[in-house]
Amino acid sequence: MIEKKELLKKISAIEQSEESVIAIYSNHIQNVLRYSTLDEKVQSRILAMLQKLDVDMQTQKSYTKALIESIEKNSKDVY
């Protein structure tokens, strides 16, 4: 069991961590690709995947925001 306040704190921490990790890896991969000898098609596919990852992260953020709002509105204090 977990109290509402602690649950919200953990969800927020996970969200921030995910956002940071994706940003760091995405920037690193893009920088590596600038100096890469990989075929241009392969590089384009990798960049497309990174863009998809960013879109997915934004979608996940909206789901997380809705989850947080739902938990905050709920009178339940233990989950």
Q: How many domains does the chain have?
A: 1
**Are the C-beta atoms of residues 70 and 4 closer than 8 Å to each other?**
no
Identify the band that residue 71 occupies on the pLDDT scale cut at 50, 70 and 90.
very high
Tell me whether residue 42 is in a domain.
yes
In a domain, 75, yes or no: no
pLDDT confidence band for 64 (50 / 70 / 90) = very high
DSSP class of 52: H
Q: Which residue range forms the structural domain that includes residue 32?
A: 12-70
Token code pair at residue 68: 């947080």
Residue-wise pLDDT tens digits, 27-61: 999 999 999 999 999 999 999 999 999 999 999 99
Residue 45: the pLDDT is 98
Residue 62's pLDDT is 97
- Whether residue 44 is contained in a domain is answered as yes
Distance CA(54)–CA(71), nearest Å, equals 25
Distance CA 9, CA 61 (A): 15
Q: Note whether residue 29 is domain-resident.
A: yes
What's the pLDDT score for residue 18? 94
Report if residue 1 sits inside a domain.
Answer: no
Through-space distance between the first and last CA atoms of the chain, rounded to whole angstroms: 5
- State the pTM of this model: 0.79
